[in-house]
Amino acid sequence: MKATTMNKPLLAGVFALSALLACQQEPAAPKRNPRVAEPSELAATMRTMTADMEALKAKAQAGTLTLADVESLRAAHEPIKTASPTKPEEIKESFPGFAEAYLSNLDALYDALKTQADREAQIEAFNAVIATCESCHQQHCPGPLDRIRGIKVAE
Ligand code: HEC
């Protein structure tokens, strides 16, 4: 009796841990096992998104983002809506809404650059994009959250 009630939290912990690890693979990490599966379409898109946003952080911080910077990654990040994930069963109903919010925040960043491109406005719009990464990850894939938070520009 007692053993079964105690097993539940333990099992939940094990599952949470494995989900965390699965989502923690870093693109730059050396592969210990060469037979490790190829990343899913969605994971590959996420790696591109991470690299793109990390590359733009310094420009956002300096207030020197250009329309071209955002334009080129908008198309590259569009597959977030349709790319197939590693574990479809873990994708929640909230996913499409977060994906749309992410892309519309990229559009808002573009608009901010177009209209009022001062440094403060750039940082605010850039951080709003990263906040959307964060929101979706809180529900779907907590592993990379620290890395994602690190892309935010300190205000
Ligand atoms: C709409 C939800 C959503 C948004 C928005 C989102 N992600 Fe993800 N992300 C996921 C899911 C789900 C996975 C797991 C993908 C898989 O394993 O197929 C993932 C995986 C990742 C990974 C791990 C990739 C790997 O190597 O396995 C990183 C890093 C990542 N995201 C970073 C980001 C960054 C940075 C942003 C914003 C620029 C972002 N994500 C926006 C849902 C999201």
Helix axis angle for 119-140 and 95-115, nearest 10°, is 170
pLDDT at residue number 12: 45
pLDDT at residue number 150: 98
Q: Which two tokens stand for residue 66?
A: 């250009």
Q: Exposed, middle or buried, 122 (CB in 10 Å: 0-12/13-18/19+)?
A: buried
Band (pLDDT 50/70/90 cuts) for residue 14 is very low
CA-nearest of 13, 45, 46 to 141 is 46
Band (pLDDT 50/70/90 cuts) for residue 116 is confident
The answer, as to whether pTM is greater than 0.75, is yes
**CATH class held by domain 39-149:** mainly alpha
* Residues with C-beta less than 6 Å from any ligand 1 atom: 23, 25, 27, 39-40, 42-43, 46-47, 49-50, 53, 85-86, 95, 98-99, 102, 132-133, 136-137, 140-141, 144, 147-148
Using CA atoms, how far apart are residues 34 and 135, in angstroms rounded to an integer?
A: 33
Of all protein residues, the one whose alpha carbon is nearest to atom 1 of ligand 1 is 99
pLDDT at residue number 11: 43
Residue pair 92/139 in contact by the 8 Å Cβ criterion: yes
- Whether the per-residue pLDDT at 147 is higher than 80: the answer is yes
Instruction: Quote the ligand 1 centre to 118 CA distance (angstroms).
Output: 29
Residue pair 120/135 in contact by the 8 Å Cβ criterion: no
Q: Which two tokens stand for residue 32?
A: 């210990």
